[in-house]
Amino acid sequence: MRACAFDYGTVRVGVAVVDELGLLAHPRPALPGRDRAALLQAICELVRDESIEHIVVGLPLDMKGTESGSAKAVRVFATEIANATGLSVELWDERLSTTQAHRAMAEHTTTRQRKTRVDSAAACIVLQAWLEAQRGRR
């Protein structure tokens, strides 16, 4: 199944897409998050161009597993994506995904590069975790 993931942010939205074999998540350039209409249009184009069948959106939870303050905005975003694309959207625990992304990128990128790439790296971590959970369910 072709799937993609989004790491929601008000400035940038990280994007990752599963490869054709359904094994690995790959980053795509982050999308600007300030203009919601343009963002949803870009997501619809990605869904069409990449033949996406399922969407995963990272849900911010605190370390106790309860929803953080920004979870409500993420839920609204997920609903908007579902309405715009007609696809099912699954919320997925994104705890520490951004921290993991920063750590993974620290050795190979400058601080400036990390700033623009970390959102999509976090989306990759969320999508890869989702993929592994799907494999465990089979």
Q: Which CATH number is 46's domain given?
A: 3.30.420.140
Q: Name the pLDDT band for 104 (thresholds 50, 70, 90).
A: low
Portion of the chain with pLDDT greater than 70, in percent: 82
Query: What pTM, to 2 d.p., does this model score?
Result: 0.83
Q: What range does the domain containing 94 cover? A: 3-137
Mean pLDDT of 106-133: 74
Distance in angstroms (rounded) separating the CA atoms of residues 126 and 49: 21
pLDDT tens by residue, 20-64: 988 999 999 999 999 999 999 999 999 999 999 999 999 987 777
pLDDT at 78 over 60: yes
Number of domains the chain is built from? 1
Listed in order, strand segments (DSSP E) in 1-138 are: 3-7, 12-18, 25-32, 54-59, 89-93
Q: Stretch 80-105: mean pLDDT, rounded?
A: 77
Burial class (CB in 10 A: 0-12, 13-18, 19+), 54: middle
Higher pLDDT, 84 or 118: 84
